[in-house]
Structure 1
Amino acid sequence: MLHRLISTYLFVGYLPKAPGTWGSLLSLPLIWFLYKLGFPYYLGFYLILFPLAVWASYKTSQELNNPDPDEVVIDEVLGMMTVYFFVPPSPLNMVLGFILFRLIDITKPFPIKVFEKIPYGVGIIVDDILAGVYTGLILLLLNQFLTK
């Protein structure tokens, strides 16, 4: 049961219609809270969550006999957290980050889709982390451009 709690981000993954969007959106309060605690806490939480997310996602995918179940949204949480290693989670960055992350996560530009195929839960998580990297880099460029 613990793996379901983790993989569905406290059962957010069971919300109807677009669970990935719900997971991404509801990761924002956690991101804000951890960021306010300070970078060591943010990084520490991320580094602890990553292996737990891989384990929980794999176990859930095995139970559901689905390589990437919609209910698993902890990957969206890690992906969204990745964005804010590049830019601070200001209100504007959070709105833009959410929108861009969802667009990139859904469209999966090259080479993200390739990473999705990695087995054992790693692929479930890593493709969203890469979507977070893409999003973070875009926001970093936007922030640089808008502050000049």
Structure 2
Amino acid sequence: MTLSRFRLTKWQHFLALGFGSGLAKTAPGTVGTLVAVPIVALLMWLGSAYLLGFIMLGTLLGIYVCEVTTIDIGQPDHAAIVWDEIIGFAITMFLVPLTWQYLLLGFLLFRLFDIAKPWPIRWFDKTVHGGLGIMLDDVVAGIAACVSVHLIITLISGG
């Protein structure tokens, strides 16, 4: 499918495509996650309540915008839809100290879980469809990455 079916002038497409970042010719999910880094860092700096609010509202909004976009383009889960990566990365960084090292660690772990899709992420990816399915596997990948980041932080700090 050509990218011409996406309409950045339609706010649902603009958001689902991660402000257009999903239109990257290579690795759109990684590019979408890169777009998430400064957004998430700002929300972390503002405080965990802001990040949590973004996660909750962004997840619900994401289900809607991803569903609308897939219906409009006639394809169930196009790689250009990257709002799920933005929310997945936000989940990854929840209650993680704001340092560039932890942002990098969270980025790498989230991309690893999102690309490799170990169980149960793969199950959600294959079983749940539509906007909910698009969001859910990245929510679960974000949770797995978040737990991993916190475990690594605990190990590094000695306990």
Fold match by TM threshold 0.5: yes
Match status 1:124 vs 2:134? yes
1:47 alignment counterpart: 56
Whether the aligned pair in 1 keeps the contact of 2:18 and 2:35 (CA below 8 Å) is no
Aligned partners of 2:130, 2:112: CA distance in 1, in Å?
25
Equivalent in the alignment of 1:145:
155
Identical aligned pairs, as a percentage? 32
Q: TM-score, length-normalised on structure 1? A: 0.94
The residue that corresponds to 2:40 in the other structure is 31
User: How many angstroms does 1:43 deviate by?
Assistant: 1.5
Residue 94 of structure 1 aligns with which residue?
A: 103
> For the residues of structure 2 that align with 1:89 and 1:12, how far apart are their CA atoms?
24
* Partner of residue 77, structure 2: 68
Instruction: Give the paired residue count.
Output: 148
Distance in 2 between residues matched to 1:84 and 1:90, nearest whole Å: 11
- SS of the residue 1:63 aligns to: helix
Residue in structure 2 matched with residue 115 of structure 1 by the alignment: 124
Uncovered stretches (5+) of structure 1, i.e. residues with no partner: none
1:53-99 CA deviation, whole Å, 9 max, x = no partner? Answer: 11110111112222111110000001000011242232111111111
2:92·2:106 contact (CA, 8 Å) conserved in 1?
Answer: yes
Query: Aligned partners of 2:133 and 2:95: how far apart in 1?
Result: 22
C-alpha separation in 2, matches of 1:89 and 1:54:
28
- The runs of 4+ residues in structure 1 deviating greater than 3 Å are none
